[in-house]
Structure 1
Amino acid sequence: MRVLIGLLLAISAVACGSGATSATDRLHPCRIDEGPPDAFCGAYRVFEDRGARTGRTIDLKIVVAPALRRDPRPDPIFVFEGGPGGGAATLATQRIPMFRRFQTDRDIVLIDQRGTGGSNPLDCDQDDKPDDDPGLIDEHTVDRFRTCLQTLQADATRYTTSIAMDDIDDVRRFLGYDAINLWGGSYGTRAALVYLQRHEASVRAVVLDGVVPTDMRIPLYMARDGQRALDRMLDDCEKDTVGCASAYPGLRASTDALWAQLASKPRVTLPHPRTGAPLTITVSQQFAATVVLQALYTPEVSALLPRLLTDASRGDYKGLVALAFANDLPRGAISQGLFLSVVCAEDLPRIGAEDIARETAGRFIGRTLFETQVKPCEFWPRGLVDAEFYEPVRSPAPVLIFSGENDPVTPPVWGEHVHATLPNSRHIVVPGSGHITLMRGCVRQLVGRFFDAARVDAIDPACVNGLSRLPFFTTYTGAERRP
């Protein structure tokens, strides 16, 4: 019996020095409806009004994928989700596999920022969205947000990025971590930069992927950056003389003609992409522009665009409509009210009418789409944002920055913008990549080495040089080279 007790004590001692960290001691194994079965779940309660420290509270949803080694490193990776409006913990089942390579040595921590996922989401999704609605932003969206605002159990002014990042630091302390690593993607890079600015002493190293600086003025440059990505796609098609250019001669002219063609807002009936039932839908410029912009996010989908644009210019809209429904996010994936609480407070006050006219003129994403997206800001409550929020972050912390060469929303110019003021940073542009580069080529290996060393000079980015745009589809089954 003494031998057995000794063995149990030895096992317990090993466990205490292994993946059973103080963080997981404060959580519980995730239930099937909470997160991955091998992760730990829980919540941390904060006041909605952090200054008053009274009134409504928010339970911040937490998911931790514990390190797999018995002697893990003490510095976890905190994952900051995009949007704004995405909840990292709610998306844990999709996100943790992306970071599994790093989980060998470190805990992976995902938290639903206040107003997202399971943290009092500012959810403005439709409960009764019809089957013929692909969920794109249109003129009816504004009325939906007005109604939504009246039903929210929240003070929408208390959901800005700075407030949310102070929450995150509270969670860090609750979980027992000292220095942490940050990974942010898209809007998550803004969140990470704000956390670094406000809680620098708690940061060991930072990776930014698809940079959204605090002074970006979302969504002002969406038209400019989206046009750049579309033009690059058209240029690359023309250069592919035995493939894309041969299959789709005059693609640029066909695309220009398409935008003019859709000014009449043709209403068409075609098979529903999911059910096969007859679907009658209006294919407007705004509809097509939204679908094309979304397609440009990912190399695999943008490879289809020459075919889809050619078909649409000939009056066959089945491909565009199918892609619209394929991009329809599941309910709750993005808390649209949180998007407004962030953008209406942090970005829109710095956008003037002349800015909108300048940035949308002559671009496929016109001012109608821009104005529809921000129209709810006319009545959405705005939180306070201090002047420091817009100041460049100049922290000495090591920061590794990635940009996709063909990114339609966070192109390399934004990565370079942030790199210029971070003295200990490095900016890597990934050839052929769109929005978010983590899963492209050797990028995860570079991220892993950087987090291990916490030095930007510890990696050799030459491995990305062999990457390029994926071959364009010349048929719906793939690329075929013509003689």
Structure 2
Amino acid sequence: MTRCWRTTLLAGVLGLGLTGAGWAIQDAPEEAPPGEDSASSEAESPEPAGESAGEELPQQAVEAVLDDPEAALSAFAEPPAPTSLSTLAEGDTVPVVCPFRDTIDYEPGEISCGLLAVRENRETETSRIIQLLYVKIHARGPEEGDAGDEDGEAGEDTFTPREDPIAYLTGGPGVGVPSYVERFKDHAATETRDLYILQQRGITQSGDFCPLYNAEEPALNVGQTPAEQEAFTLARLERCFDRAVAEGVDLSAYNTVENARDVRVLREALGYETWNVWGISYGSHLGQMLTQVDPEGIRALVIDAIVPNDLENLMRIHRWADRVLDHITSTCEADTACARAYPDLRERAYAAMASLQADPVIVTVSDTEVFPGGQVAVGGAAIAFAPFSMMYEQSTYPGMAAVLNALVRAAERRDETVFTAIALGAGGDLAGGDFSAGMNAAISCNDGYTWQNARVIAEDLSEVPGLAGLIGSVEGAEASQALCERYGMGLRDRSEYAPVSFDGPALIVNGAWDPITPPDLARQIMPGFSNGQYLEVPFAGHGPTRSDECTADIMVAFFDDPSAELDTSCVETANSAPDFAIPVTSHFAARAIVAMEEDRPALIGLLAWGGISAMILGMALLVFPVAFVLRRIDGTPSANTGGARAASVLASVLGIGGLAVLGYAAYATSEISPILLIAGFAGPAHLGAWAILLSGLAGLAALLLVAGARLSSGRMAFGTLAGIVITALAALSLAVFAAFADLTPF
């Protein structure tokens, strides 16, 4: 964002952080007097610094700066000395401009950010201080007409957030805050309560120690066999750990116990005696750990997509992948249309995975920066885990069967186009985005995820032999655990990871179709919650409290009154088996993805072909009616075209209408999931495809009819003849384009 010099000068003069000028955006409490405990001196619901500083600078001061900048500058006191890490103590906070301000749409005052100082390893006296980013999503107030506002209006000036905010515990582990901010700024949870999100240690702006994890050493991207890919993953992990140690990172400090202590420090720094706690996935593990580290700080607890604190049975990845395939295929078999479109889907899926396991499809790509050598091997894991990833969100469920069938079909036909598109998509964001793989790996080592995987993988593989070798091996799991131990990340004391016992109010939630943390794990931990309620949401995926409106409302009602009996009736009516989409099969999207990267001129030429044909038909839709009106005004009789004019108009209507329908179908398909486009176009795509085909037939008919009329009458105005012929040829061209681009109904 560019600013004029005056704005820039003012920003420099004011420092953008002087509380008296009302520029602070951070919600840290004011510093307590010397010798007084800052947490105890705060009110139970403290007013964040800067929120009461909304007054503007006196107009005279502004004018003075603009009239004589140097004199005005000299009148200001010396700016405060910058905060040094060496002077920070645990619990100190520093306001910061939110790092996502250019990517997430919000107004000042709706979201604010700060840095929290914590000790990296509280079990070592000489541990350094690190800073963690945290975000506050300010309660936005009731929506217009909601209950709770006497006048039926939001009333910004009168609204006061509830005094019991929510602390959200992020997942992954390793996911940064932007995706949560984007999702939760309009969530039911932030209507009446402030929501705090702590970006855990080791994630992006909270001290990511391997920010180029996936981008470093691109040769490690091109393993040609599952065994080689597993070895390359270990090599990349070793590089990350080695770099972290060289930079002074204490890898042993990245564990869930320390993460829970960080959450406690944030609560105390903000001055809250208690707050509500909400965690999903890894956040559910962190929430359970918090019941041991800071039980007195939890007013009410909601955990969703359950990871047991002892991690028992969590790492049964092959079992969970088989469960996902069973959900998809059994639901498809019970749906007449799906069963007819995709017969024997489960058997074909396992046969296709076995085929790719024995003989991966090797595709050639031009992006040798990401894939040195230009060759990428695609194995059976693509078939297993594309639909697996789609089961996280209920909104993508309609596309799961079609995507699974498209991948199986591609394997059966050794279709390099589809697998090239998948390979190119996988190489799209190797920088990691808002996910920190190094932190994830350290947590896995220290908490015991890696150890549990090595312990159960042999049994897991024997239980689902059809997936053996696709997503890991016994040797690879054991090598990962050995690597953890080599870098000082052996198992922590397992008493810290014992099943928890918590007598505070708790709501345990799980989606019935959660792919990675299924309901069995939630039921496993329930005996430890003496005052807990369990809610299983039918056909819901990973974390329904964040994605399902009904479940979110239940959670808010629980926070409002944790002792009240919950009305959960909506979960049965709001969630049902997915209605699987049956797209018109098309390779257009896969070809376009590949051509965009590999042969862009050819793609531009193809799109120009279709675009010019459509443009001519669109002009015809304007010209024919105008010509008709002008003839009526002039009283000029219409030329005898033998019906060719009507056929041309029909060809134009069908062609443009068909393209519009296909465009809408492409949009609707991508709204379900962009990956569904590799299967074709859902919705009314078949109507659009038929319309374009019929447009070509109408164009052919127009040519035949105008030729017959010309032979019979011998004369026809050149404009009429040219208009009919050009329109007819454009309709024929559009139909041939559709056939060439694989946009037919067949």
TM-score range, shorter chain: 0.7 to 0.9
Equivalent pair of 1:227/1:408 in contact (CA under 8 Å): no
Distance 1:249 1:207 in 2: 41
Letter in 1 for 2:499: P
**Paired residues for 1:24-173 under 5 Å:** 28=95, 30-31=97-98, 33=100, 37=108, 38-69=110-141, 70-87=159-176, 89-97=177-185, 99=187, 101-123=188-210, 125-127=213-215, 138-152=230-244, 153=247, 154-173=249-268
Q: Distance in 2 between matches of 1:82 and 1:366?
A: 27
* 1:366 alignment partner, one of 468, 471, 482: 468
Distance 2:400 2:319 in 1: 19
Kindly provide the amino acid, as one letter, of the partner of residue 141 in structure 1.
T
TM-superposed CA distance for 1:428, in Å, is 1.4
Q: Is the 8 A contact 1:443 1:464 kept in 2?
A: yes
Residue aligning to 1:337: 438
Write the deviation string for residues 21-42 of structure 1: whole angstroms up to 9, x where unpaired. Answer: 2376666473454675531111
Superimposed CA distance per residue, residues 198-234 of structure 1 (whole angstroms, 9 cap, x where no aligned partner): 2110001111110001222576211112211211111
Write the distance in 2 (CA, Å) between the matches of 1:374 and 1:107: 44
Instruction: Return the structure number with greater helix share.
Output: 2
For 1:202 and 1:471, the matched residues in 2 are separated by 44
Indicate how the Cα distance of structure 1 residues 332 and 32 shifts in structure 2: closer, same or farther if over 3 A, else same: closer
CA RMSD between the two structures: 3.5
Query: In the alignment, does 2:336 pair up with 1:228?
Result: no
CA distance in 1, matches of 2:383, 2:231: 15
Residue aligning to 2:743 = none
Aligned 8 A contact 2:213 2:437 in 1: yes
1:376 equivalent to 2:480? Answer yes
Letter in structure 2 aligned against 1:286: A
Task: Give the whole-Å Cα distance in 2 for the aligned partners of 1:257 and 1:287.
Answer: 13
Query: Which residue in 1 is equivalent to 2:379?
Result: 284
Partners of 1:29 and 1:112 lie apart in 2 by 14
* 1:356 and 2:457 matched: yes
Which one is further off, 174-183 or 211-220? 211-220
Task: Tell which has more relative contact order, 1 or 2 (C-alpha 8 A, sep 6+).
Answer: 1
Deviation at 1:300, TM superposition (A): 3.8
Match of 2:296 in 1: 201
* Counterpart position of 1:415: 522
Contact 2:46 2:270 in 1 (8 A): no
Evaluate the alpha carbon distance shift between residue 436 and residue 92 of structure 1 in structure 2; reply closer, same or farther with a 3 A threshold: closer
Query: Which residue in 1 is equivalent to 2:48?
Result: 22
Per-residue deviation, 1:386: 2.3
Cα pair 1:76 1:108 within 8 Å, conserved: yes
Equivalences for residues 214-253 of structure 1 within 5 A: 214-217=309-312, 220-241=315-336, 243-253=337-347
Please tell me whether the aligned partners of residues 168 and 279 of structure 2 are also in contact (alpha carbons under 8 angstroms): yes
- Which residue identity does 1:341 align to in structure 2? A
Aligned partner of 1:5 in structure 2 is none
Can you list the C-alpha shifts for 1:37-68, whole angstroms capped at 9, x where unaligned?
53111111112121334342210111111223
1:443 aligns with 2:551: yes
Q: Which residue of 1 aligns with 2:532?
A: 425
Native 8 Å contact 2:169 2:197 kept in 1? yes
Change (3 A) 1:368 1:32: closer
1:464-479 to structure 2, matched below 5 A, reads: 464-466=571-573, 467-475=575-583, 476-478=680-682
User: What's the offset of the Cα at 1:186?
Assistant: 0.6
| Map of 1:299 onto structure 2 | 394
Task: Determine helix, strand or coil for the equivalent of 1:261.
Answer: helix
1:206 aligns to what SS in structure 2? Answer: strand
Comparing 460-469 and 352-361, the one that deviates more: 352-361
Uncovered stretches (5+) of structure 2, i.e. residues with no partner:
1-28, 30-42, 52-92, 142-158, 368-373, 584-679, 687-746
Shifted more, 431-440 versus 181-190: the winner is: 431-440
Whichever residue aligns with residue 336 of structure 1, its letter is A
Supply the distance in 1 between the matched residues of 2:547 and 2:222 (Cα, whole angstroms): 27
Query: Greater shift after overlay, 349-358 or 307-316?
Result: 349-358
Cα deviation for residue 157 of structure 1 reads: 0.6
* Structure 1 residues 120 and 78: CA distance shift in structure 2, 3 A: same
| Stretch of structure 1 that moved more, 347-356 or 198-207 | 347-356
Residue pair 2:363, 2:419 contacting (<8 A) in 1 also: no
- Alignment TM-score, normalising by the size of structure 1: 0.84
Q: CA deviation at 1:161?
A: 0.3
Measured at CA, do residues 306 and 95 of structure 1 come closer, stay the same or move farther in structure 2, by a change above 3 Å?
A: closer
Please give the secondary structure, in 2, of the residue aligned with 1:144. Answer: helix
Identify which of 478, 503, 510 aligns with 1:403: 510
**Which stretch of structure 1 is more off in the superposition, 414-423 or 297-306?**
297-306
Q: Are 1:402 and 1:427, in contact at CA under 8 Å, matched by a contact in 2?
A: yes
Read off the aligned partner of 1:478 and give its amino acid letter. Answer: A
SS at match of 2:681: coil
Determine if contact 1:132/1:281 at 8 Å carries over to the other structure: no
Q: Distance in 1 between matches of 2:349 and 2:47?
A: 56
Aligned length: 461
Aligned to 1:263: 357
1:332: how far off? 4.1
Q: Which residue of 1 aligns with 2:274?
A: 179
Distance 1:326 1:424 in 2: 46
Instruction: Give the deviation of 1:134 after TM superposition.
Output: 10
Supply the distance in 1 between the matched residues of 2:420 and 2:534 (Cα, whole angstroms): 37
SS in 2 for 1:351: helix
Range with greater deviation from structure 2 (63-72 or 262-271) = 262-271
Cα pair distance change 1:296/1:339, threshold 3 Å = same
1:351–1:384 distance in 2 versus 1, CA, 3 Å: closer
Secondary structure of residue in 2 paired with 1:181? strand
Distance 1:265 1:479, change over 3 A: farther
- The separation in 2 between residues aligned to 1:181 and 1:350, in whole angstroms, is 32
Q: Cα 1:284–1:383, aligned 2, differ >3 Å: closer, same or farther?
A: same
Unaligned runs of 5+ in 1: 1-15, 274-278
1:370/1:280 Cα in 2 relative to 1: closer, same or farther (>3 Å)?
Answer: closer
